[in-house]
Structure 1
Amino acid sequence: MINISRLAHYQRQDLKNLMLLLQEFVITYKDNKVKINYQSRPVILFLSTLVATAGFGAYFTVRNILTKYNEYVLNKRLARPALIRQSSTILKNGSREIFIPKGKNKVSRIIIPKPNLDQYAADKYLYKNFIINQEIQSQQRGTIFSSKFLSQLAIIWRILIPKFYCKNTSLLLSQCFFLLMRTWLSLLVAKLDGQIVKNLIAANGRKFSRDLIYWLLIAFPASYTNAAIKYLDSRLSLGFRTNLTRYIHDMYLDKVMAYYKISLNTNDIQNIDQYITNDVAKFCDTLSGLFSSMGKPFIDLIFFSVYLRDNLGTGAIIGIFANYFLTAALLRRATPAFGKLSSRRTHLEGAYFNDQLNLMTNCEEIGFYKGSIIEKAKLQESFQNLMSHVNKEINISFPYSILEDYVLKYTWSAWGYIFAGLPVFLDEIWPAQDKPDTKADKKAVAANERQNMRQFIINKRLMLSLADAGSRLMYSIKDVNQLTGYTDRVFNLLTNLHKVHSPRYNFGSALGFSDIHGTIQNNYNDGIRFEKISVIIPSSLGSENEPLVENLNFQVSHNKNLLILGSNGCGKTSIARIIAGLWPLYRGLLSKPNDDDIFYLPQKTYFTTGNLRDQIIYPYTYNDILEMGYNDDFLYHILREVKLEYLLKREGNFNVVKDWKDVFSGGEKQRMSIARVLFKNPKLVILDESTNAVSTDVEDYLFELLQKKKITFITLSHRPLLMKYHDFILEIEEDSSWKFHDLTSEENLKSIDNEINEIEDKLAQVDKWEKRKSDIEKYLDGKYEDIAIESSIELPAPLTSQNCSR
């Protein structure tokens, strides 16, 4: 049992002693006024920080005022609905002007410079040469300072900081300045700490109070410096990610359609969305954080070593760094391959995310098929693979963390205490046989002890800081290893983007060397022409792959419609992909109109995120149609022409935002795609099974509408009934052969007339065949005599048991 009364007595005694101590300190403070040296470093740093803060505040205030004024002028100039703020416009100098909404009737204007396409073409050889050099050189075992990692980082660095005079350079230089500032402040704080301890031991209240004020003053610039480093770290990461993402988007989303080509190249890269979103962000965060996590310890090692060398001697510094290098070598040999582990984990996370995305995208179809069990099995498999790898990472990291923590925290701190105490143990003020007799000698001994205590506190703090700097430098090995994994993935993404960005990209070569010998002639005004073209699926075999259709050779003149007829999988859509430039043309000559004059309707209609208006005008924006002189009345007229005007009553108005792919029926989706054709009004449209979900009467109406609008169309279908709307027909057989017919020629018209006559003759014999069917049914029912009398047709003998036995 605890004696409560005794415990209370001790508490009252401690409180009494504390009051006496404070009373003595107050008396000392009254007798000795504290004098502050306004020229001291803490005061100057404090005042400088205040001035700098006020200067930055004034700068940002003026900038915000100017920004708001420019936005006010811009809003006044652009007196349009807020809906256009999401659009973008190409300026005369090639830059892109983007309007971003910032609230009700407010807009912000952002200018993105025009991409330098020549730079992308030049950068392509950097990645090619890197692959060639890696094939020649043997791979180094080390993952931190390997030539592969440094070479990859040097190439990517050209994207992060493209030129010296840029925003990221200023951020990086500012971060280096504050890192130096923080190390210098740490040195001042260590000296001030030793002085405070010395004054406390000497019971000098005046100096103690003065140094305590200095401590509070210097704490403000120190805190400001730490916050500035964190701020610049985040800003630098954002700047790196902005440059890298824009560089990727310029290649990924352009007229070459690299986003489609790279989706076919699954052998080299998978789940590209994981690369662009997650890997790029982690790479930029890790790289920007590495400057502070490695820069600060490295600067501390230099500054503190120079200062300690004067106090401890060169031998002690050599011993300290010898210990650092030995333990660093030990940890480096014991460090697992964190880069590979991190890269593998990111890949597995992408696979699991992709399975989840597939489930969300196709939830309705999976629901109809009752496929919950098999989808659950797939998700569990991908999740189990991820968890197994995470468990592996945890198990590998555990023994290394024990070794790392023991060496860096405790071993290095012990050596710090030993080296910091050397001056105290070695400095013998009085010989062993001499003893201080006089009061002056005793005061000198006491003063020297206080000085030794002060020096020990300073040395101890700096040694611990030095040990902490070295330990953080060793801890950063993990960050470097993780950065190695992220750098490899980002570099792999950029390499593949440069490969597919080439207009003559070949899937069969690791370096993208081309065996594509086909030629595409644009701006062909006399229809479309195929000359000895082979339709080949892009693959690692390249032009050696088996063609779907071989040696296509025909021409369709302007204002003539073509029907490409064939069964599923024969290569109809593949021809459209070659015309659109999605697939390479390995052999032959393709002559076609300008790409801006061709409109494609794929089998699966795509609906963008937005309102009903956006579904009609896709791929244009509302700002575009306003500049064209169109309005909602024009769009309503288009809906009436495709018999979809009831959507405005059903959905409300053009501004309604929904998930339209789930709202429209199959027929409505196809009529909406025809509405896009009417809005675009192209010279040529390619229809890939674009009317197979509508009724026959609506299909007739839509084709007649296109003919009325004088829009030339190429139809890909497996339905021969569509021949009546076309002038030419290309029949593709299953054995890769093909036949081309001119349906308007006299020979084909005669053959069609003959076929019609044959069908009419067969229709004339329908009654006779119906009578024959009736007689056979009566015969099967056993009415033999009635059949013979009525029809006078000789019928076979009735079935008997003997006949059956025979």
Structure 2
Amino acid sequence: MDILKQRATCLRLPKRNSQSLQVYLPLLLRHLWTLINSSEVRGPHKKRAQYVFVSLVLSSLTVLSGTAYATYRLVQRLHQLYNRVNELRKPSAVLRRSRSQTQLASGARIMHVPDTDFTNGIDTHKSIMSQLQRVKQKRRIFIKPANMDKYEHDSFIFKSVGQKNAEHSHLFYSKFFNQMSSLLSILIPTVFDKNSVLLGLQVGFLVLRTWLSLFIARLDGQIVRDIIAGQPKRFLFDLLIWFMIALPASYTNSAIRLLQRKMSLNFRINLTRYIHDIYLDKRQVYYKLLFDVKNTSSVLKNIDNSITNDVTRFCDATCSVFANIAKPVIDLVFFSFYLRDNLGSLGVAGIFINYFVSGYVLRSYTPPLGKLSSASSAADGDYYNYHLNLINNNEEIAFYHGTDVERTKVNGLYDTLMERIMDISNKKFKYTIIEDYILKYTWSGLGYVFAAIPIVMTGGSPGNGGNASSEQVNMRDFIVNKRLMLSLADAGSRLMHSIKDISQLTGYTDRVFTLISALHRVHSNKFEFGGDRKYITDDAGSVTVSSMKRSHSLSKPPVGEDLIRGTIQRNFNGVRFENIDVIIPSVKAIKGIKLIHKLTFQIPSVIQPDSSTTNSIQDLGSMSNISTPLMSGPGSSLLILGSNSCGKSSIQRIIAEIWPIYNKKGLLSKPAEKDLVCIPQKPYFTKSGTLRDQLIYPMSPDQFFDSGYKDALLVYILKEVKLEYLLKRAPGWSYLDQHDDWRDVLSGGEKQRINFARILFHRPKFVVLDEATNAISVDMEDYLFQLLKTYNFNFMTISQRPSLIKYHDVLLEISAEDKSWHLQTLGTDEAIVTIDSEMSELDTKLREVKSWETERDELKKRLEVI
């Protein structure tokens, strides 16, 4: 006790202003540390010193970390306020544009997104903030370039794992672990990744929370002992420690939830970025997925729902399952070691035997939540997609008065969705009854039994030869053991609950894995459009792999037996088809539906790489003289004429490389990507974009301004296509910045003229027009084709209207009956004879008009008599 008196004497400091808390607190901590390490101090004094020391250290760290973070945020916001005030003081132009993103040479991007945290975080300086609200707050975000090597490497991993089929997708099957291990390489790409740090911090806080729970349990027993012993000073002292330790305990619980949420968001960012880089790649995976017949699940049918909802659910479920498993496991380890000293090894073994028996029983009654969750997600996607289809086609449905039919279909999909959701609830009902009875009540009752074993075995009560001190000790041990047993039971129950969560996680994992596997399969350079190798034929039509002896699912086809054997020549100064069979992509591959046989044509008819006659005017972008474009010789033009479903639009699909060339002798020669524009039948308009965005599509606004283009060029182009009246809807040229749903604002003819405006803006050497003027009046159609000739474009027109012959040099007629084609040069004797024969047929019909009118009058007289 001498050391206690000496330390107490040292702690009696005179009351001066200089002896503040910052001097007293370190001295107190050194005193407590000396008491803890001293061999002379034993019993309750040493334990209380430990309690006080731990409570002070943890509370001080919590306060310091919170203060440091608050100071950092305050300095950051003041710095932002200072920069914004300086921006307001600087003179600026009336019109100033800032780029929303910057594309670097490495492929990385720097994006500037709105930052609302600054304006929401400060309430003072209202006069300054009222000015700052007029300034767009931007936050700079750096996005790394896409790592295509990793995507190519991962394609083999997903393909290998996908081939290992399993009947069920539960925890104890390898399919779940294989799928999860493949996805973890995306969620946590490297050991030093930010998500690895967050994962390590979460584990550290989980261990700290378990240790704090053990510390609080012992402190709880000490407080109960103080109450029973009637020691108010010790009770108040322990209560003070209780409130001190509550601060780091609360901080720890909040930190675990925050880290779990941040890790889930980071997982979602990594996974979504990974999917977007493949799905929205230049290989046009978003379109070619239509031909991936190897996977008929609802994941690809409702891919929009899979990319948004399934990815979010998977990330949330992954982080939740990790926390729900890690915390109980850590509790079981810590509490078991502590309870072994009080209950003995046999008691701890009995506890774990109880857990294993309970787990076996609950496992046998666990419903297949993975399949049920997957089915519910599929029904949710169907219901969502049908509403989306209803929104996109609302006008057409209103014209047809199809409300009753659509209501029936929507109600049917909704009933299916509710049935799937109720099925999950019904399957959980019996399981929840057994689960609550075992986990809440049976385990709690057994907890009382195990906690009372030491007291019953020792018989330490006053009536049995004990004393008041032993009774207090037994009460304290019972309280501590009871609290730990209840915590242990709670840990076991959470661990059992996590089995149910894992069952749901398997459903989300399977859907996300299926999605990424399909994306890799379609993204591959060897994607075969869902073709089956048993239909491979040679050029003569004989089957080379036809018998059942060889599987149609060979992983590597023999040399020379690829499904797609055509050749594509790029950077050609024209468009050339040589012996191409136009075939609809299907599982039959080359044996599929053939629309055109051995198609061969070329535009221009004579290729002169160095000749200016094959080039359209490319000088509008220089803005030197946009009103008088230079003439550099006429361009070539081809009209593809035929009836419906004869394969006209399929030619454009082959030129755009979204349809394959199956036959070996088929050759497609096409210009570079920047020199070719394909205009589809249905004009496309970006969602909620400006009018400028529609005119320059697919160029982005940032590229437009970075390249030095001005709005004056767009105004000139609008005048060229007779759409300058659109600018009069707003003062000046501000209508170019108007955001609207242009698909509904513009008429059919205006949409098609916007397509011609895009052609004038991008100035490609070759243009493919598919029914590009079927909604335009005859006079405007004549003007637009003359405009193409004025600017010397080489263009191909796909149509079923013979009246367009006069605007073209070459005619390609396609017959749907015998899959044949006929190519002729307009202006030749053959073409003139063809036109003369058509004119003579029309003259013959006109001469018969009078006889038809006489027959009509006779029929009217007969009707009057009747």
Q: Common fold, TM-score beyond 0.5?
A: yes
Q: TM-score, normalised by structure 2?
A: 0.80
Q: Check if 1:52 corresponds to 2:52.
A: no
Conserved in 2, the CA contact under 8 Å of 1:636 and 1:645?
yes
Q: Check if 1:643 corresponds to 2:722.
A: yes
Q: Aligned partners of 1:504, 1:363: CA distance in 2, in Å?
A: 40
Which of residues 134, 151, 155 is equivalent to 2:182? 155
Question: In the TM superposition, what is the alpha-carbon distance from 1:541 to its structure 2 partner?
Answer: 2.2
Q: Check if 1:516 corresponds to 2:564.
A: yes
What letter is aligned with 2:728? K
Q: Answer with 49-58 or 88-97: which moved more.
A: 49-58
1:99 is matched with: 112
Q: Check if 1:627 corresponds to 2:703.
A: no
Q: Aligned partners of 1:158, 1:519: CA distance in 2, in Å?
A: 36
Question: In the TM superposition, what is the alpha-carbon distance from 1:82 to its structure 2 partner?
Answer: 7.2
Which of residues 618, 626, 641 is equivalent to 1:565? 641
Higher gyration radius (CA): 1
Question: In the TM superposition, what is the alpha-carbon distance from 1:483 to its structure 2 partner?
Answer: 0.7
Q: Check 1:68–1:100 CA distance in 2 against 1; reply closer, same or farther (3 A cut).
A: farther
Question: In the TM superposition, what is the alpha-carbon distance from 1:706 to its structure 2 partner?
Answer: 0.8
2:794 is matched with: 712
2:546 is matched with: none
User: Percent of pairs identical after alignment?
Assistant: 46
Q: Aligned partners of 1:78, 1:524: CA distance in 2, in Å?
A: 48
Question: In the TM superposition, what is the alpha-carbon distance from 1:517 to its structure 2 partner?
Answer: 1.2
What is the correspondence of 1:437-516 to structure 2 with a 5 Å cutoff? 445-506=467-528, 507-508=530-531, 515-516=563-564
What letter is aligned with 1:472? R
Q: Check if 1:594 corresponds to 2:672.
A: yes
Q: Check 1:234–1:757 CA distance in 2 against 1; reply closer, same or farther (3 A cut).
A: closer
Conserved in 2, the CA contact under 8 Å of 1:535 and 1:571?
yes
Q: Aligned partners of 1:778, 1:46: CA distance in 2, in Å?
A: 107
What's the secondary structure of 1:693's corresponding residue? coil
Per-residue deviation, residues 681-700 of structure 1 (Å, max 9, x unmatched): 11111111110101111000
Q: Aligned partners of 1:224, 1:335: CA distance in 2, in Å?
A: 35
1:585 is matched with: 661
1:540 is matched with: 587
Q: Aligned partners of 1:601, 1:617: CA distance in 2, in Å?
A: 14
Q: Check 1:201–1:431 CA distance in 2 against 1; reply closer, same or farther (3 A cut).
A: closer
Q: Aligned partners of 2:838, 2:450: CA distance in 1, in Å?
A: 109
Q: Check if 1:738 corresponds to 2:857.
A: no
1:90 is matched with: 103
Q: TM-score, normalised by structure 1?
A: 0.86
Question: In the TM superposition, what is the alpha-carbon distance from 1:779 to its structure 2 partner?
Answer: 9.2
What's the secondary structure of 1:610's corresponding residue? coil
What's the secondary structure of 2:737's corresponding residue? coil
Question: In the TM superposition, what is the alpha-carbon distance from 1:153 to its structure 2 partner?
Answer: 0.2
What letter is aligned with 1:599? V
Q: Aligned partners of 2:578, 2:433: CA distance in 1, in Å?
A: 71
Conserved in 2, the CA contact under 8 Å of 1:85 and 1:101?
no
Question: In the TM superposition, what is the alpha-carbon distance from 1:409 to its structure 2 partner?
Answer: 0.7
Q: Check if 1:668 corresponds to 2:750.
A: yes
What letter is aligned with 2:657? G
Question: In the TM superposition, what is the alpha-carbon distance from 1:55 to its structure 2 partner?
Answer: 3.0
Q: Check 1:402–1:78 CA distance in 2 against 1; reply closer, same or farther (3 A cut).
A: farther
Q: Aligned partners of 1:584, 1:743: CA distance in 2, in Å?
A: 28
What's the secondary structure of 2:715's corresponding residue? helix
Conserved in 2, the CA contact under 8 Å of 1:547 and 1:736?
no
Q: Aligned partners of 2:191, 2:80: CA distance in 1, in Å?
A: 26
What letter is aligned with 1:182? R
Q: Aligned partners of 1:781, 1:243: CA distance in 2, in Å?
A: 77
Conserved in 1, the CA contact under 8 Å of 2:582 and 2:594?
yes
Conserved in 2, the CA contact under 8 Å of 1:499 and 1:512?
no
2:597 is matched with: 550
* Gap runs ≥5 in structure 1: 1-34, 436-443, 783-806
1:682 is matched with: 764
Question: In the TM superposition, what is the alpha-carbon distance from 1:755 to its structure 2 partner?
Answer: 3.9
Question: In the TM superposition, what is the alpha-carbon distance from 1:370 to its structure 2 partner?
Answer: 0.4
Q: Answer with 728-737 or 306-315: which moved more.
A: 728-737
What letter is aligned with 2:317? T
Question: In the TM superposition, what is the alpha-carbon distance from 1:277 to its structure 2 partner?
Answer: 0.2
Q: Check if 1:213 corresponds to 2:240.
A: yes
Q: Aligned partners of 2:685, 2:554: CA distance in 1, in Å?
A: 36
2:339 is matched with: 308
Q: Aligned partners of 1:371, 1:769: CA distance in 2, in Å?
A: 43
Conserved in 1, the CA contact under 8 Å of 2:637 and 2:794?
yes
Per-residue deviation, residues 198-217 of structure 1 (Å, max 9, x unmatched): 00111100000000000000
Q: Aligned partners of 2:737, 2:262: CA distance in 1, in Å?
A: 37
Q: Answer with 751-760 or 691-700: which moved more.
A: 751-760
Conserved in 1, the CA contact under 8 Å of 2:460 and 2:474?
no
Per-residue deviation, residues 472-528 of structure 1 (Å, max 9, x unmatched): 000111211111000000000000000111233121357997621122111111x11
Q: Aligned partners of 1:775, 1:222: CA distance in 2, in Å?
A: 102
What is the correspondence of 1:720-735 to structure 2 with a 5 Å cutoff? 720-735=802-817
1:405 is matched with: 436
What's the secondary structure of 1:45's corresponding residue? helix
Q: Aligned partners of 1:308, 1:79: CA distance in 2, in Å?
A: 74
What's the secondary structure of 1:459's corresponding residue? helix
2:308 is matched with: 277
What letter is aligned with 1:99? H
1:528 is matched with: 575
Conserved in 1, the CA contact under 8 Å of 2:169 and 2:370?
no
Conserved in 2, the CA contact under 8 Å of 1:198 and 1:454?
yes
Q: Check 1:548–1:238 CA distance in 2 against 1; reply closer, same or farther (3 A cut).
A: same
Q: Aligned partners of 2:400, 2:820: CA distance in 1, in Å?
A: 37
1:121 is matched with: 152
Q: Aligned partners of 1:469, 1:38: CA distance in 2, in Å?
A: 25
Q: Check 1:451–1:645 CA distance in 2 against 1; reply closer, same or farther (3 A cut).
A: same
Q: What is the Cα-based RMSD across aligned positions, in Å?
A: 2.8
Per-residue deviation, residues 123-147 of structure 1 (Å, max 9, x unmatched): 111111113333xxxx365711210
Q: Aligned partners of 2:860, 2:180: CA distance in 1, in Å?
A: 89
Question: In the TM superposition, what is the alpha-carbon distance from 1:748 to its structure 2 partner?
Answer: 3.0
Q: Check 1:212–1:65 CA distance in 2 against 1; reply closer, same or farther (3 A cut).
A: same
Question: In the TM superposition, what is the alpha-carbon distance from 1:71 to its structure 2 partner?
Answer: 8.9
2:124 is matched with: none
Q: Check 1:65–1:548 CA distance in 2 against 1; reply closer, same or farther (3 A cut).
A: farther
1:341 is matched with: 372
Question: In the TM superposition, what is the alpha-carbon distance from 1:56 to its structure 2 partner?
Answer: 3.2
Conserved in 1, the CA contact under 8 Å of 2:636 and 2:793?
no
Q: Check 1:70–1:494 CA distance in 2 against 1; reply closer, same or farther (3 A cut).
A: farther
Which of residues 257, 267, 270 is equivalent to 1:240? 267
What letter is aligned with 2:54? R
Q: Aligned partners of 1:427, 1:184: CA distance in 2, in Å?
A: 28
Q: Aligned partners of 2:102, 2:56: CA distance in 1, in Å?
A: 54
Question: In the TM superposition, what is the alpha-carbon distance from 1:79 to its structure 2 partner?
Answer: 8.1
What letter is aligned with 2:70? G
Which of residues 656, 680, 691 is equivalent to 2:773? 691
Q: Check if 1:420 corresponds to 2:451.
A: yes
